[in-house]
Structure 1
């Protein structure tokens, strides 16, 4: 029987939508959940979840923060639910998934489409994100002085209105 670990990085409402798709995709399987401590009570409502593991850190998922309880467990799949289409903004969780022993890692997006991802995919997304941020900053640096000069020139021609 397949063992699946879901890293809960989304709301429980999103998980409510994703869980049926995960069960449909993998059929008979044992589902485990990794969540922060504050999510344990809400996670207990799922009868399909075999066991809930607690992420023992207060901050977000980080590859440097290993979960000792999971170190000796092998999963067939690690599922990372995301609240968008491509996983943007979930780099930390996608990277963190590498710290879990699993044969494959998949992302389940907002419309419950499940797709395989590799570390190469994660780094490519991160690189694209970096390039877009760099181009945005570059555009601001180039455009801002031009806009300031235009505004100063226009300001020179504004007439005082006296009442």
Structure 2
């Protein structure tokens, strides 16, 4: 039987809608959920969920944090629900999904539209994120130098008037 793992990174209210869409799109698949410990009781309300795996860490999904129960298990599809249309802001979950053995990864947005995301796209997002960090550091350094040099001069002019 084909299986799906949903990495619960959204509210259960949204997940209610997403699970219905996932079942419609992938009929006959076995569905499992990976959730934080505080979400287990709420995840148990779903009748068609076969397994609930606990993410044993208090922090958000982080690359490197292993879940022993699924470490060697292979899934046909890993679904990453997101609370917006584009998936922006969920890079940590996408990156974490790379630790899970899967044939493909799918983003399911707030309106339950699903699109496959490739390994290359996730790696590209990682590179883009790193470039933005470097750019912001350089821009902050340049602005700081500008402020340190020119702000005191400007303040002296203001106090003289």
Instruction: Tell me which interval the TM-score lies in, with the shorter structure as reference length.
Output: 0.7 to 0.9
TM-score, length of structure 2 as denominator length: 0.83
**1:65 is matched with which residue?**
65
Gaps in structure 2 of 5+ consecutive residues: none
**2:105 is matched with which residue?**
105
TM-score, length of structure 1 as denominator length: 0.82
- Name the Cα RMSD after superposition: 2.4
CA contact (8 A) 1:4 1:29 kept: yes
Deviation of 1:34 (Å): 0.8
Say if 2:17 is the partner of 1:17. yes
Aligned equivalents of 2:160 and 2:37: distance in 1? 62
CA contact (8 A) 1:95 1:119 kept: no
Higher-Rg structure is: 1
Would the alpha carbon gap of residues 146 and 74 (structure 1) be closer, same or farther in structure 2, given more than 3 Å must change? closer
Q: How many residues matched?
A: 161
Would the alpha carbon gap of residues 155 and 91 (structure 1) be closer, same or farther in structure 2, given more than 3 Å must change? same
**1:54 is matched with which residue?**
54
Aligned equivalents of 1:65 and 1:157: distance in 2? 55
Gaps in structure 1 of 5+ consecutive residues: none
CA contact (8 A) 1:6 1:31 kept: yes
